Amino acid sequence: MTEEANTDSKSARAASFYDVDGTLIRTNVVHAYAYYAVNNPSLVGKLTSIGTLLAGIPFYWLADKFDRRAFNESFYRNYKGFTEDRLVILGEEIFEHVIRPNLFDGARDLISRTADQGRDQVLVTGALDVITAPLADYLGADGYRANRLEYKDGVATGNLRKPMMAGANKALWIRRLAEERGYDLDRSFAYADSGSDIPMLSVVGNPCAVNPDFRLRTKAQSYDWPILDFD
């Protein structure tokens, strides 16, 4: 399976699209970076990474609540200087030690149930591709789209490749994939936990709020969207 979902599934008429952090798993991108930081082979690098992360947490919290794009642009600068091969290796470790143990019990059941109903399973997340890939394989997803770091000579620059997976860009990507694969979005489903994912939920005929924050819960109640609470 590749990140860019291929176009061989033309016969598939509907899909289920999932946000990941807070929707399928308890952890988020900060937990993942913390794992990278504490496993930095250099003591100085480890202390610097951890210190920078801790100092930025108040800003990250605010940005995550009010401007997901600003959060991503700022947060992923922490990865500047990491080598691509090390990020890939640690991505597998993060899945084993951080992601899989924090998968909501109800999430695996939800994916199995919707797959049995004949819909493709697609992850759409602001997490990094090197972390999302093993999760997608584990869940048996039919495709995924995640944020991707920019590399120069195999070293992360601290910038994300475009398009950034946040807010309306998730909805735009889902529309593009639907055109490529022939999905009927009116018959498709989407699951997310954050108010920033309202565009993603609104692009399908069957949106569902999962572990919703206040903004999304209010929206879901107003529009009679189903609400699932896994946590």
Model pLDDT for residues 101-147, shown as the tens digit of each residue: 999 988 989 999 999 999 999 999 999 999 999 999 999 999 999 99
Query: What distance in Å separates the CA atoms of residue 24 and residue 150, rounded to the nearest whole number?
Result: 26
Peptide linkage before 134 cis (omega within 30 of 0): no
Query: What distance in Å separates the CA atoms of residue 161 and residue 62, rounded to the nearest whole number?
Result: 23
| Domains contained in the chain, CATH given | 15-228 (3.40.50.1000)
Kindly state the average pLDDT of the residues 52-76: 60
pLDDT of residue 50: 55
Closest CA to 56 of 92, 9, 48: 48
User: Which residues 6+ apart lie within 8 Å of 194 measured at CB?
Assistant: 19, 22, 68, 212, 213, 215, 216
* 190 and 208 Cβ atoms separated by less than 8 Å: yes
pLDDT digits (tens, 9 = 90+) for 172-227: 999 999 999 999 999 999 999 999 999 999 999 999 999 999 999 999 999 999 99
Would residue 231 show up in a list of annotated catalytic residues for this protein?
no
pLDDT of residue 129: 95
Would residue 105 show up in a list of annotated catalytic residues for this protein?
no
Pick the catalytic residue: 21, 64, 129, 193?
21
The 3-class SS string of the chain reads: CCCCCCCCCCCCCCEEEECCECCCECCCHHHHHHHHHHCCCCHHHHHHHHHHHHHHHHHHHHHHHHCHHHHHHHHHHHHCCCEHHHHHHHHHHHHHHHHHHHECHHHHHHHHHHHHCCCEEEEEEEEEHHHHHHHHHHHCCCEEEEECEEEECCEEEEEECCCCCCCHHHHHHHHHHHHHHCCCHHHCEEEECCHHHHHHHHCCCEEEEECCCHHHHHHHHHHCCCEECCC
Pick the catalytic residue: 19, 64, 129, 193?
19
- Entry pTM: 0.82
